[in-house]
Structure 1
Amino acid sequence: MVRHARSIAQQTESTMTDREARAARNQQKSLAVFLAKKAEFDTLIAELQQASADHFGADPETVLWAEAAWLSDATAKLKDIADQHFHRGEYAC
């Protein structure tokens, strides 16, 4: 009976260790993917900032409604992303 109890305790200990090891590996993989996506995000933000500094290629002297409409659409998409992150608007808790 004592041997059986030890065996169960060792199996439980082993399972917990295996579970913890899997959780640690999962967390490491999650972090790697997160950091890769963050780098991609940061690159896109930098490109957009540069394009914005150049008025998105629009000549301020000849801007027409198409450029204004495109910028309005792009701004709405970025606003939605910001609202999701900061829990504003329809994403408010």
Structure 2
Amino acid sequence: MSRTALDAYIARKAEIDTMLARLKALSDDHFNVAPDEVDWGHVGTLAHYAEQLKRIIDAAFREGEYAE
């Protein structure tokens, strides 16, 4: 059976929705770090996550280096 572009698009969107839901749940749980356990390594990890997400946001909204 041939897959249409719409089928592929819907599958990719579902994949992204699943990833976003998992990330939201992890964030809601403070990225599995208790407040009294936070150290600079955790800060660095979140900075890395934020940097990667910013690249995605910039591409999706045509901001930053993707601005027209």
Q: Same fold by TM (over 0.5)?
A: yes
The answer to whether structure 1 residue 44 and structure 2 residue 44 are counterparts is no
Q: Distance in 1 between matches of 2:46 and 2:5?
A: 34
Q: What SS class does the counterpart of residue 36 from structure 2 fall into?
A: coil
Q: Hey, what's the Cα distance between the residues in 2 that align with 1:47 and 1:63?
A: 21
Q: State the one-letter code of the partner of 1:33.
A: A
- Compute the TM-score of the two structures, normalised by the length of structure 2: 0.92
Aligned to 2:64: 89
Give the structure 1 partner of residue 42 of structure 2. 67
Q: Which has the larger radius of gyration?
A: 1
Tell me the C-alpha RMSD between the 2 structures.
1.4
Q: Tell me the residue number matched to 1:29.
A: 4
The structure that is helix-richer by fraction is 1
Residues in 1 aligned to 2:54 and 2:64: alpha-carbon distance in whole angstroms: 10
Shift of 1:73: 0.3
Q: After TM superposition, where is structure 1 displaced by more than 3 Å over at least 4 residues in a row?
A: none
Structure 2 unaligned residues grouped into runs of 5+: none
C-alpha displacement at 1:48, in angstroms? 0.4
CA distance in 2, matches of 1:66, 1:36: 35
- Structure 1: stretches of 5+ with no match in the other structure: 1-25
Q: Which has the higher contact order (CA 8 A, sep 6+)?
A: 2
